[in-house]
Amino acid sequence: MEMNSAGIVRNAEERKAFYSKIDGAHLAPLWEVLKGLVPAEPRPAAMPHLWDYDAIRPHIIESGALLTAKEAERRVLVLENPALRGQSLITDVLYGGLQLILPGEVAPAHRHSQSALRFIMDGDGAYTAVNGEKTTMHYADFVITPAWTWHDHGNDSANPMVWLDVLDLSIVAHFHGQFREDWEEERFPVSRPDGDALARYGAGLLPIDYKPQSATSPIFNYPYERTREALFSMHRAGDPDPHFGHKLKYINPASGDWAMPTIATTMQWLPAGFATRPYQSTDGLGFVCVEGAGETRVTLPDGQVKIMTWKPRDVFVVPGWLPHTHHPASDTVLFGFSDRSAQEKLGIFREKRH
Ligand code: GTQ
């Protein structure tokens, strides 16, 4: 038995009495909770999960008959991680949802402290307007709504349009930094032509006197056509990386950092028959299958392996620090999103390449 300097050790009951006594003074003993507060390694609460787009599309379309986009403000079905129901989280950190806009509808203009990305899943030709510039959206485009920018969405095409929304809601909520405002009209006035930002900032050039106004990329639509061409050229030019295949990160051209300050985004090409080597990282990962088919195998903490089989438009998540591998059956393109961008700024990102 250990003794203190006075040669006394209190028994369990005496300790409990002490805890009750200090409780009234809003004090609590650290040693009862220390191991939980400072664990040996990450223990994500989320679980790996896949949403089969073909299976959930009827629910998304039915929500269109339930209420208008205007009434809903944003007509979205939230992708709730099965282990985190009711918390509006797709991974431990990020929010994900599928937003529907029907032909002729407008989701009214507002702005908020949270950053959002849109990844286009279904339909073609609706637009998002960000601070007075409209961008027309096509399949697999990656579109950003930076924090505190006015944005409305509209659909002038003939078909329903669905995209994935990913927001840093819980990060901003953690710091209690949330603000939000509604614009008095449905649409924020358009002041620049479609494509203006991509021309100024997205050609490997920057305006001569450009000074960044925020931590977010000044490009707000990264068209899939360009991303695919880059990946395909890499695929033709050389061998894939054993852990990543051919993988590119979306960047802010003015800083070289991730395109968004809190959410990291990537696109990767995995050749048919290739299998990635096991990889784990502290960020909670989300994926959308853009092209191809295959499966992802995730090793759970109890040693069991969870297999998720994907095809185009399926959304799936791999919580942080779980080793996993991708197994494309045909040439595959995967979009990726995670909280890595925020973790790197806090100095807590880690990865292990097996
Ligand atoms: O489009 O502004 O899925 O504010 C959740 C919150 C979308 C949006 C969401 C939002 C938006």
pLDDT of residue 323: 98
Whole-prediction pTM: 0.96
**Beta bridge partners of residue 275, listed in sequence order:** none
- R_g of the chain computed on alpha carbons: 23
Instruction: Please list the pLDDT of the chain residue by residue as tens digits (354 residues).
Output: 566 766 667 889 999 999 999 999 999 999 999 999 999 999 999 999 999 999 999 999 999 999 998 899 899 999 999 999 999 999 999 999 999 999 999 999 999 999 999 999 999 999 999 999 999 999 999 999 999 999 999 999 999 999 999 999 999 999 999 999 999 999 999 999 999 999 999 999 999 999 999 999 999 999 999 999 999 999 999 999 999 999 999 999 999 999 999 999 999 999 999 999 999 999 999 999 999 999 999 999 999 999 999 999 999 999 999 999 999 999 999 999 999 999 999 999 999 999
Q: For residue 346, what are the CA distances in angstroms to 118, 262, 339?
A: 25, 10, 11
Q: Where are the beta strands (DSSP E) in 171-303?
A: 180-182, 221-222, 246-249, 264-270, 279-281, 285-291, 294-299
CA of 124 to the centre of ligand 1 (A): 19
Q: Are 259 and 119 in contact (CB under 8 A)?
A: no
CB of 290 sitting under 6 A from ligand 1: no
Residue entry with tokens 């090409």: 269
CB of 167 sitting under 6 A from ligand 1: yes
Residue nearest atom 10 of ligand 1, based on CA coordinates: 74
Reference 312, options 53, 65, 87, 79; nearest CA is 53
Q: Are 353 and 279 in contact (CB under 8 A)?
A: yes
> Two tokens at 290?
């853009």
Domain ranges of the chain: 49-353
Q: For residue 249, what are the CA distances in angstroms to 78, 192, 237, 334?
A: 26, 27, 18, 12
> Two tokens at 50?
């896949």
CB of 165 sitting under 6 A from ligand 1: yes
- How many CA atoms are closer than 13 Å to the CA of 306, on its beta-carbon side? 17
CA of 165 to the centre of ligand 1 (A): 7
CB of 76 sitting under 6 A from ligand 1: yes
CB of 96 sitting under 6 A from ligand 1: no
Q: What is the dotted CATH code of the domain comprising 49-353?
A: 2.60.120.10
pLDDT of residue 29: 97
The secondary element (H helix, E strand) that includes residue 155 is none
pLDDT of residue 245: 98
CA of 199 to the centre of ligand 1 (A): 27
Neighbours of 57 (CB within 10 A): 17
Helix, strand, or coil here: 176? coil
CA dihedral 154, 156, 161, 166 (to 10 degrees): -30
> Two tokens at 193?
């032509």
